[in-house]
Chain A
Amino acid sequence: MELKTVATPHVPVRYLEGGSGEPLVFLHGAGGVTADDPFLAKLAENFHVYAPMLPGYGDSEECNELRDMLDITLHYWDVVEALGLKDPIIVGQSMGGMIAAEMAAIAPHDVTRLGLICPAGLWLDDHPIVDMFSALPYEMPALLFHDAEAGAAMLTAGRNVEDPGFLQTYLVQNARQLGMAGRILFPIPDRGLAQRMYRIKAKTILVWGDSDKLIPPVYAQEFKRRITGAQLVSIPEAGHMVAVEKTKETVAAIQRLV
Chain B
Amino acid sequence: MKFTWFNLMPWPYLPDDFREKNRSVWVDIDQELFDPERSHAVYNTYMDLLEYAGTIGFDGIGVNEHHQNGYGIMPSPNIIAAGLARRTKDAAIVVLGNSIALYNPPVRVAEEFAMLDCISGGRLVAGFPVGTSMDTNYCYGQIPSLTREKYQEAHDLIIKAWTTRKPFAFNGRYNKLRHVNIWPRPIQQPHPPIHIPGGGSVETYDFCIDNTYSYSYLSFSGYIRAKALMQGYWDRVAERNAPDASPYRAGFAQTICVAETDEEAERLYAPHVNYFYNRCLHVYPGFADAPGYRTIKTIQTGALSQYAPPRGGYTQLTWKDLIEGGHVIAGSPETVRQRMEELIKSLNVGNIFCLMHVGDMPADKCMYSTKLFAEKVMPKLRNMFPDFADDDRFWCKPMAKRVTAGSLPSEREAALVGAQG
Q: Does B299 contact A (CB under 8 A)?
A: yes
A211 within 8 A of B: no
The answer, among A64, A67, A177, for a CB contact under 8 Å with B291, is: A177
In the complex, what's the smallest C-beta–C-beta distance from B232 to chain A, in angstroms?
16
A134 partner residues in chain B, CB cutoff 8 A: 27, 138, 284, 286-287, 290
Rounded to whole angstroms, the CA-CA distance of A66 and B408 in the bound complex is 58
| A179→B294 CA distance, assembly (Å) | 9
Closest residue on chain A to residue B144 by CB atoms: A182
Q: In the complex, given contacts A175-B145, A177-B291, A182-B144, what are 16 additional A-B residue pairs having Cβ atoms less than 8 angstroms apart?
A: A67-B173, A131-B138, A133-B286, A134-B286, A136-B285, A168-B302, A171-B289, A171-B299, A172-B299, A175-B291, A179-B144, A179-B292, A182-B291, A183-B145, A187-B137, A188-B141
* Bound complex: CA A211 to CA B300 (Å): 38
- Check B300–A183 contact: CB distance below 8 A: no
Q: Is A215 an interface residue (CB 8 A)?
A: no
B414 on the A face (CB < 8 A): no
Contact B137 A175 (CB under 8 A): no
Who on chain B is nearest to A134 by CB? B286
Known: A134-B138, A135-B286, A187-B137. Contact between A179 and B300, CB under 8 A?
Answer: no
Q: How far is the CB of A137 from chain B (nearest CB, A)?
A: 10
A180→B291 CA distance, assembly (Å): 9
Residues of B within 8 Å of A187, CB to CB, are: 137-138, 141
Q: Which of B146, B291, B294, B299 contacts A178 (CB 8 A)?
A: B291
Q: Is the CB of A175 within 8 A of B138?
A: no
Bound-state CA distance A135–B137 (Å) is 14
Q: Which 8 A-B pairs have the closest CB atoms?
A: A179-B292, A178-B291, A179-B145, A134-B286, A174-B291, A187-B141, A171-B299, A136-B286
B68 to chain A, nearest CB (A): 13
Tell me, in angstroms, the Cα distance from A252 to B70 when the chains sit together: 52
B296 interfacial contact with A, CB 8 Å: yes
- Enumerate chain A residues within 8 angstroms of B286, measured Cβ to Cβ: 133-136
In this assembly, does A176 line the interface, its C-beta being within 8 Å of a C-beta of chain B? yes
Report how far A135 CA is from B146 CA in the complex, Å. 20
CB pair A133 B299 closer than 8 Å:
no
CB neighbours of B300 from chain A (8 A): 168, 172
The answer, yes or no, to whether B143 is at the interface (CB within 8 Å) is yes
Given the interface pairs A67-B146, A134-B284, the reply to whether A175 lies near B299 with Cβ below 8 Å is yes
8 Å CB contacts to A: which residues of B284-313? 284-287, 289-296, 299-300, 302
Is A186 an interface residue when CB atoms closer than 8 A count as contact? yes
* A59-81 vs B, Cβ < 8 Å mask (1 yes, 0 no): 00000100100000000000000
Residues of B within 8 Å of A174, CB to CB, are: 291
Residues 179-194 of chain A, each 1 if its beta carbon lies under 8 Å from chain B, else 0: 1101100111000000
- Give B249-300 interface residues, CB cut-off 8 Å to A: 284-287, 289-296, 299-300
B284 closest partner in A (C-beta): A134
With A and B bound together, what is the CA distance between A135 and B284 in angstroms? 10
Q: Which residues of A contact B302 (CB under 8 A)?
A: 168
A194 to B141 alpha-carbon distance, docked (Å): 21
Chain A CB within 10 Å — which of B287, B291, B296 has the most?
Answer: B291
| Inter-chain contacts of B294 with A (CB < 8 A) | 175
A235 to chain B, nearest CB (A): 29
Residues of B within 8 A of A67 (CB): 146, 173
**Residues of chain A contacted by B290 (CB below 8 angstroms):** 133-134, 182, 186
A187 to B27, CA, bound (A): 13
Q: Which of chain A's residues has its CB closest to B149's CB?
A: A64
Q: Are B143 and A186 in contact (CB under 8 A)?
A: yes
Docked Cα-Cα span, A171 to B144, in Å, equals 14
Are B137's CB and A186's CB within 8 A?
yes
A175 — which chain B residues lie within 8 A by C-beta?
145, 291-292, 294-296, 299
- CB–CB B291/A179 < 8 A: yes
Across the two chains, which residue of chain B brings its CB closest to A170? Answer: B299
When chains A and B are docked, how far (Å) is the Cα of A54 from the Cα of B291?
A: 16
A136, B289: Cα distance in complex, Å? 11
What are the residues of chain A within 8 A of B284 when measuring CB–CB? 134
- Nearest CB in chain A to that of B290: its residue: A133
For the complex formed, measure the closest distance between the CB of B364 and the CB atoms of chain A, giving whole angstroms.
Answer: 40
Cα–Cα, bound, A171→B303 (Å) = 11
**Smallest CB–CB gap between A60 and chain B, Å?**
14
Complex: how many Å from CA A186 to CA B137?
A: 9
Contact partners of B287 in chain A: CB under 8 A:
134
Q: Please give the distance in Å from A167's CB to the nearest CB on chain B.
A: 9
CB-defined contacts of B296 to chain A, threshold 8 Å: 172, 175-176
Within 137-184 of B, Cβ neighbours of A (below 8 Å) are at: 137-138, 141, 143-146, 149, 173
Cα distance A135–B23 when bound, in Å?
12
Q: How far is the CA of A67 from the CA of B142 in the complex (A)?
A: 13
Q: Which residue of B lies closest to A173 (CB)?
A: B291
Scoring A67, A131, A175 by chain B CB atoms within 10 A of each residue's CB, the highest score goes to A175
User: Which of chain A's residues have a CB closer than 8 A to the CB of B144?
Assistant: 133, 179, 182, 186
Expressed in whole angstroms, the minimum distance between the Cβ of B130 and any Cβ of chain A is 15
Q: How close is A16's CB to chain B, nearest CB, in angstroms?
A: 23
Most B CB within 10 A of own CB, among A134, A171, A188: A134
Partner of A180, one of B27, B173, B289, B292: B292
CB proximity of B142 to chain A, nearest CB, Å: 9
23 contacts between A and B (CB under 8 A): A64-B149, A135-B286, A136-B285, A168-B299, A168-B302, A172-B300, A175-B145, A175-B291, A175-B295, A175-B296, A178-B292, A179-B291, A179-B292, A179-B293, A180-B145, A182-B143, A182-B144, A182-B145, A182-B292, A183-B145, A186-B144, A187-B141, A188-B141
Residues of B within 8 A of A186 (CB): 137, 141, 143-144, 290, 292
Q: Which residue from B173, B291, B295 sits with its C-beta under 8 Å from A133?
A: B291
Distance (whole angstroms) from the CB of A81 to the closest CB of chain B: 26
CB distance from B292 to the nearest CB of A (A): 2
Residues in A whose Cβ lies below 8 Å from that of B143: 182-183, 186
Chain B residues contacting A171 (CB-CB under 8 Å) are 289, 299
